[in-house]
Amino acid sequence: MGETIAFLVFAGIALGAAVAVVAMRNLVHAALMLVIHLLAVAGLYLGLESQFLAVIQVLVYAGAIVVLFLFVIMLLGVDRDDLLVAQGRRAVAGAVAVGLVLAGALTFAFVGPYTGEASVCGSDVAPTGTEQSCAGIAPVLDADDDAGVAFLGRRLFTRYTLAFELSAVLLTVATIGAVVLARRRDLSPEDEDLPTGEVTA
Amino acid sequence: MSDLQPGQLAPELLATAAALVLLLLAVSRRRPQLVMLPVGLGSIALGAWMVLGGAVVPGAVVGLLGVAAPLLPVLLPGRPTLQQAWGGGLALAGALVLTGWQLAVALGDGGALGVTGWRGSIAVDGLAGFTRITVYLSALLVIPMGYGYLQERRINRAEVEPLILLAAVGMALLGAANDLVTIVVALEVLSFALYVLAGLARRDRRSQESSLKYFVSGAVASAVLLYGMALLYLATGSLELPAIGAALGSVLVPAALVAVALVLVAVGVAFKVALAPFHLWAPDVYQGAPTSVTALMAAATKAAAFALLLRMALVAFPALGDVWAPALAVLAAASMLYGAVAALVQADLKRILAYSSVTHAGYAAIGVVARSTDGLGATMTYLLTYAVGSLAAFGVVIAVERRRRGEVTLATIRGLGRTSPLLAGILALALLSLAGIPLTAGFVGKLEVFRAGVAAGWTWLVVIGVLSSVVAAGFYLRIAGVMFLEEAPDAAPATGDADEDGDDEDARLPVLSTGLSAATALSAALVLVVGLQPALLLELAAQASVLVR
């Protein structure tokens, strides 16, 4: 019961925020609405017992990516709302058409298999065709926390130690690169400006 | 699952540690011994402990580098960038020695070649070892080659050597990576380092263009590759290449999913090795990047990316060989022909070499298409011979460019044979090697891939390869003709150089420095040695043609 309420609340927030992202006239507000939307989706993940996915959703999407959005918006200039005005009727019709096609495809591919009778949890109807039967949360939880944080952590520090450590090298490279690119101007080579005596001291 | 054995990653560990030490050295500006003395003492102690523990060669390498560390600031006082260059060079030489030691142990009695290490993350096999040799050798030659050049362009910053070292680590690990996760991370390590290195000259628009184009196309290629890998994981349920290969051999995997995965992975990898028609980034990137970085890209990155191609093709996708081999053969044929023809109409030397690298990707791919042990050895040999040949060529380009401070076109090197015959001779030798003329390294490599191609029944591809070699020889000979047959222009050519004030006799002479001449001469010597005495290399390649499957 609590699960259903949580789902409804988070789904409502997610949908409302998603509409707000498109409807807001101020780009910064739209980006902030996107944060709310992504956080609500993270809540949905939590409801599905996917803690890791929820945390990653917050860190990567709500954190890093939206910050990137905001950076770009700030760089382009916040007050330029002419970017937001749809150019003519054709553009609006095109946007609506693409949106409908995308929604239809997603419904067909992802929601479709879970709409039959067999998908209702607790029903004994055998699934036919592509229809998926309800597994419920319990068996997933029983099956050795398969997608859980503990499992991921164990794998990360046993089987994938090398890749994990190598990503430290990757971050080092990225940091050096950021320093190189962010320096305001090229310094002249340092060799001349160091008096010989001081170096060997 | 085997244990975590540091010995299996000895060269990479050394290079990574050296990169970090060099970064600390750069930070410590006026008090280098604050960093170098503890590092040196620690390394000597570690080396002694390793020697006592039975690992004599790696212990000696670590110990010697430990002795060298505090000596650098003493011997080269007041020259921090030179200290960096020497430090980077010594570390890479150490990595090369460690690679040789690894191979010697693995090929010797009781050694194991063709096992996995680090719990299946890396493969300890011939492909990994050979890629390490090519990569570390190229990086080792690039550092002295680029030192004076970068110094003059005022872009020789403390970050250069660490980035080169870390790029080499990424490349070497890409050659050794045995699962998809390690492949992706290693690929990104080397790509990030190269994006930054390509954009080092921030005042130079072409360098910025090069960096940006490389970044965008590289990111797209990585994304495509990653998507393909995700689908591959979905289809086979495994991240390890041998397990994927075994799973694809069964009939239970969904065919459509595998087909899409194969296409995406192939496109991603083809981008990285610059096979036509996925080579479009290469000319602009090669032209704009600082020339020593271009040399590193051409020689080392190609080898690493081809190691990835070989491993994906022969370990992950052997079951689908009948599907990808014809497609790859078409790509190889297109690269060989298009690269050769496009290079004919170029005037910029770096662009010519870029198109020639596209052509060479085509030749090297013949060995992959052959799908045989011989083909594997042939491609590895080819990449090494291409690396030394292109390094020698880029060394001469650097020497010419240092005087000219701008583009190196055919007009620039007119009459180079009169003004500096040795340099022109080296460039001619390098070009002969790239063209595949006998008695040079390039001939050895080309002969090997063609032989493997014919043996595997790809006669039409080899015929195209020979045709393309003839066309390619045309533009290589054109460069040689411009250098030796044409008179040097009397006055400084009017290509808009503001730097040259009077003294046009001097302006035509390329600038050489010790590092540049030594590295270029060494590359040229390697071209000759491999060309005259190919037996050693071929024997090594034949013995090292072992893959973890």
* pLDDT beyond 60 at B260: yes
H helix runs in B250-316, sequence order? 255-273, 281-288, 291-296, 302-311
Q: For chain B, say whether A193 makes contact (Cβ under 8 Å).
A: no
H helix runs in B32-111, sequence order? 32-52, 56-75, 80-107
Domain ranges of chain A: 1-81, 88-134, 138-186
Record: contact B29-A188, CB cut-off 8 A: no
Question: What pLDDT, in 10s, does the model give residues B176-223?
Answer: 999 999 999 999 999 999 999 998 888 888 888 999 999 999 999 999
The confidence band for B95, taking pLDDT boundaries of 50, 70 and 90, is very high
Residue B396 corresponds to which tokens in the numbers above? 């001469």
> What integer pLDDT is reported at residue B117 of this predicted model?
85
Put simply, the chain B residues between 196 and 235 with a CB less than 8 A from any chain A CB are 196, 199-200, 202-203
Q: Which of B73, B74, B119 sits opposite A161 (nearest CB)?
A: B119
Tell me which chain A residues have a C-beta less than 8 angstroms from the C-beta of B119: 158-162
Complex prediction ipTM: 0.89
Q: Which of B80, B155, B196 sits opposite A191 (nearest CB)?
A: B80
Record: contact B173-A166, CB cut-off 8 A: yes
Question: What pLDDT, in 10s, does the model give residues B183-194?
Answer: 999 999 999 999
Tell me which chain B residues have a C-beta less than 8 angstroms from the C-beta of A186: 154-155, 157, 202-203
Q: Which residue of B has its CA nearest to A178?
A: B196
Question: What pLDDT, in 10s, does the model give residues B304-336?
Answer: 999 999 999 999 999 888 999 999 999 999 999
Backbone angles phi, psi at B199, to 5 degrees: -100, 20
Cα separation, A142 vs A146, whole angstroms: 9
Tell me which chain A residues have a C-beta less than 8 angstroms from the C-beta of B19: 172
Angstroms from B152 CA to nearest CA on chain A:
9
* pLDDT beyond 70 at B259: yes
Angstroms from B215 CA to nearest CA on chain A:
12
The confidence band for B420, taking pLDDT boundaries of 50, 70 and 90, is confident
> What is the phi-psi region of residue A122: left when phi exceeds 0, alpha when psi lies from -120 to 50, beta otherwise?
left
Q: Is B491 helix (H, G, I), strand (E, B) or coil?
A: coil
Q: Could you tell me if B158 and A138 are in contact, meaning their C-beta atoms sit under 8 angstroms apart? A: no
> What integer pLDDT is reported at residue B167 of this predicted model?
96
| B361 Cβ contact list (under 8 Å, min separation 6) | B273, B274, B275, B279, B302, B306, B332, B335, B339
Record: contact B80-A173, CB cut-off 8 A: no
> What integer pLDDT is reported at residue B502 of this predicted model?
41
Angstroms from B159 CA to nearest CA on chain A:
7
Nearest residue to A172 via CA among B49, B405, B132, B24: B24
Backbone angles phi, psi at B187, to 5 degrees: -60, -40
Angstroms from B133 CA to nearest CA on chain A:
20
Q: Which residue of B has its CA nearest to A176?
A: B159
Q: What is the CA radius of gyration of chain B?
A: 23
Neighbouring C-beta atoms of residue A61, cutoff 10 Å: 17
- CA dihedral over B211, B384, B158, B398, signed as positive or negative: negative
* pLDDT beyond 50 at B1: no
Backbone angles phi, psi at B510, to 5 degrees: -70, 155
Residue A40 corresponds to which tokens in the numbers above? 């609500």
Record: contact B196-A181, CB cut-off 8 A: yes
Q: Which residues share a beta bridge with B177?
A: B122
Pairing label, strands B115-117, B122-124? antiparallel
Backbone angles phi, psi at B122, to 5 degrees: -125, 155
Angstroms from B1 CA to nearest CA on chain A:
9
Q: Could you tell me if B528 and B429 are in contact, meaning their C-beta atoms sit under 8 angstroms apart? A: yes
Q: Element (H or E) spanning B122, and its range?
A: strand B122-124
Q: Could you tell me if B175 and B303 are in contact, meaning their C-beta atoms sit under 8 angstroms apart? A: yes
Tell me which chain A residues have a C-beta less than 8 angstroms from the C-beta of B170: 169, 173
For residues B471-475, average pLDDT: 88
Cα separation, B495 vs B489, whole angstroms: 12
Q: Between vectors from CA A77 to CA A71 and to CA A78, what angle results, nearest 5°?
A: 85
Query: Per-residue confidence of chain A (201 residues) as pLDDT tens digits?
Result: 778 899 999 999 999 999 998 888 788 888 899 999 999 999 998 888 788 889 999 999 888 999 888 888 888 776 655 555 666 788 888 888 998 999 888 888 777 767 777 777 666 666 666 666 666 666 666 665 555 777 788 888 888 999 999 999 999 999 999 988 887 665 554 444 433 333 333
Cα separation, B44 vs A132, whole angstroms: 64
Cα separation, B485 vs B479, whole angstroms: 10
Q: For chain B, say whether A199 makes contact (Cβ under 8 Å).
A: yes
Tokens 């690679």 found at: B99
Question: What pLDDT, in 10s, does the model give residues A101-114?
Answer: 998 888 887 777 67
Reported pTM: 0.87
Tell me which chain A residues have a C-beta less than 8 angstroms from the C-beta of B74: 200
Q: What is the DSSP string of B354-387?
A: HHHHHHHHHHHHHHHHTTSHHHHHHHHHHHHHHH
Record: contact A194-B185, CB cut-off 8 A: no
The confidence band for B508, taking pLDDT boundaries of 50, 70 and 90, is low
Record: contact B80-A194, CB cut-off 8 A: yes
Angstroms from B197 CA to nearest CA on chain A:
8
| B204 Cβ contact list (under 8 Å, min separation 6) | B153, B288
* pLDDT beyond 60 at B505: no
Tokens 């409302």 found at: A16
For residues B236-244, average pLDDT: 90
Angstroms from A146 CA to nearest CA on chain B:
14
Record: contact A181-B166, CB cut-off 8 A: no
Q: For chain A, say whether B110 makes contact (Cβ under 8 Å).
A: no
> What is the phi-psi region of residue B546: left when phi exceeds 0, alpha when psi lies from -120 to 50, beta otherwise?
beta
Tell me which chain A residues have a C-beta less than 8 angstroms from the C-beta of B30: 194, 198-199
Record: contact B193-A173, CB cut-off 8 A: yes
Q: How far apart are the first and last CA of chain B?
A: 15
Q: Does domain A1-81 have CATH number 3.60.15.10?
A: no
Cα separation, B547 vs B133, whole angstroms: 16
> What integer pLDDT is reported at residue B377 of this predicted model?
92
Question: What pLDDT, in 10s, does the model give residues B45-76?
Answer: 999 999 998 888 999 999 999 999 999 888 88
Domain ranges of chain B: 1-112, 113-544
Tell me which chain A residues have a C-beta less than 8 angstroms from the C-beta of B154: 186, 188-189
Cα separation, B148 vs A111, whole angstroms: 63
Cα separation, B55 vs B10, whole angstroms: 11
The 10 Å CB-count burial string (b at 16+, else e) for B29-51 is: eeebbebbeebbeebbebbeebb
Q: Could you tell me if B155 and B293 are in contact, meaning their C-beta atoms sit under 8 angstroms apart? A: no
The confidence band for B368, taking pLDDT boundaries of 50, 70 and 90, is very high
DSSP state of B240: B
Record: contact A163-B121, CB cut-off 8 A: yes
Record: contact A166-B158, CB cut-off 8 A: no
Angstroms from B10 CA to nearest CA on chain A:
13
Cα separation, A104 vs A114, whole angstroms: 15
Tell me which chain B residues have a C-beta less than 8 angstroms from the C-beta of A169: 16, 166, 169-170, 189
Q: For chain A, say whether B251 makes contact (Cβ under 8 Å).
A: no
Peptide bond preceding B277 in cis form (omega within 30 of 0): yes
Q: Is B116 helix (H, G, I), strand (E, B) or coil?
A: strand
What's the mean per-residue pLDDT of chain B? 88
For residues B246-250, average pLDDT: 87
Indicate the residue type of A2.
Answer: G
Record: contact B193-A166, CB cut-off 8 A: no
> What integer pLDDT is reported at residue B196 of this predicted model?
93
Backbone angles phi, psi at B120, to 5 degrees: 90, 0
| CA dist list (Å): A158 to A50, A149, B118 | 21, 14, 9
Least-confidence region, from B56-60, B87-91, B487-491: B487-491
Cα separation, B544 vs A83, whole angstroms: 59
Tell me which chain B residues have a C-beta less than 8 angstroms from the C-beta of A159: 1, 119-121
Q: Which of B19, B80, B203 sits opposite A190 (nearest CB)?
A: B80
Q: For chain A, say whether B162 makes contact (Cβ under 8 Å).
A: yes
Q: Is B349 helix (H, G, I), strand (E, B) or coil?
A: helix
